[in-house]
Structure 1
Amino acid sequence: MPRILLAEDDPAVRSFVESALTHRGHEVAAVEDGLQALETLGSRQDFDLLITDIVMPGLDGIGLALRVARDLPDLPILLMTGYSAEKQRAHNLDELIARVVVKPFSLKEICDAAEESLVG
């Protein structure tokens, strides 16, 4: 069963994505921001995918992606955003991330993107 770390500051979106991925058979650890994601990765580095929002307090998704790409280069990263300017920032990281999913998205869209990222 693939293990996914989800970092999303909006509780409704976090719950929505966590439920959708769990329903598809994935084991999901959900955290509120990039700092908690780093802490979780530091204590358990056996994740198969990182899904993170770009705009979050503390450490945003771009900063998180850069640190994870440096420290865990084999961990695929999927970014989520509802902001077009942030989507452009993410495209500057094409070599480091698997994909950017634009909010609002459907359950099928986020699950399909996660599963595509898992298979590479």
Structure 2
Amino acid sequence: MTHLLLIDDDQDLRTMLSMLLNRENYQVTQVSGVDAGLQTLIKHNDIQLVITDIMMPDKTGVEGIPEILKKRPNIKILAISGGGRTLDKGFSLQSARLVGAHALLEKPFSKEQLLSTIKKLLNT
């Protein structure tokens, strides 16, 4: 079973995405922030893909992506964002790509968009 790490400060979104991905036979570990995500990557060498929100209160995904890649250079990263109060979602997603995200999804996204993006990333 493919192991994914989901980093998002929105508990409801984490729960919903985890349930959806579990039904698709993915193992999901979910955390609420980048620092917890980094600790999880140290503990779980089998994680193949990270799904991270960009706009989070303590540390943004744009700050976290380079740290993730430093610890695990071959891991795939999917950045998701609905924007924020001061940044538009397109800008925050492009910033994520510049620091190393392999794919981007703008919230809200469909189940099909999420699953096809994950499959593409895991097969590259």
Shift of 1:45: 2.1
Aligned to 2:105: 101
RMSD: 1.2
Shift of 1:68: 1.2
Aligned to 2:36: 36
**1:5-84 correspondence to structure 2 within 5 Å:** 5-83=5-83, 84=89
Aligned to 2:98: 92
Gaps of 5+ in 2: 84-88
Q: Is the 8 A contact 1:82 1:103 kept in 2?
A: yes
Q: Which amino acid aligns with 2:13?
A: V
Q: Which amino acid aligns with 2:5?
A: L
Partners in 2 of 1:9 and 1:18 — Cα distance? 14
Number of aligned residue pairs: 118
Q: Which amino acid aligns with 1:44?
A: H
Gaps of 5+ in 1: none
SS in 2 for 1:108: helix
| Highest RCO, 1 vs 2 (Cα 8 Å, sep ≥ 6) | 1
SS in 2 for 1:48: strand
